[in-house]
Amino acid sequence: MAGPCRLRPASRADLAALADLERRAFSDPWSADELAEGLSWTGAIALIAEDAAGAIVGYALGRVIVDEGEILSLAADPDHRRGGVGHTLLTGIMAAMIDHGARAAWLEVRESNDAARAMYAQAGFVATGVRRGYYRRPPEDALVLRRQLVPAAATRSPVR
């Protein structure tokens, strides 16, 4: 088990659980239909974080287009936050993006989400811009973050 959880690829069979996690984790959640669409995109990468009992405690959804990765959603179950789930998912999705040829990763984060911003900063992401009015519920700007991804000879995705 890597850190506090084990990572595995997400599948369409996980959609109901992911939509439930979205509703519990975010004020402006993705629907099951939006998640299904995201899983079907070219270059999509979706990871599930499971605890030792096999319960879903988080997930990450991203995609790689040419050599750019975008983290579209990263959620930790509210009952498992501050336990390393987010960090494990972030590390896992960046490794998977490198495996798919990405040389940089991008994401948006709520300006007020200090915990996520701190995690991303610790992982080497830097703010490159602001998307005004990006979030709807409640209305809020998003910070656009970017991190260079450097393939290492030994880099291997932790997804098994």
Contact 123, 147 (CB under 8 A): yes
Say which of 59, 70, 120, 135 is annotated catalytic. 120
Structure-token pair, residue 65: 């287009």
Q: Comparing C-alpha atoms, which of 81, 45, 36 is closest to residue 63?
A: 45
Say which of 37, 108, 134, 140 is annotated catalytic. 108
108 in active site: yes
CA distances from 137 to 27, 112, 146 (A): 6, 13, 24
Contact 110, 119 (CB under 8 A): no
Place of tokens 């987010």: 86
Place of tokens 């260079």: 148
Residues that are catalytic? 108, 120
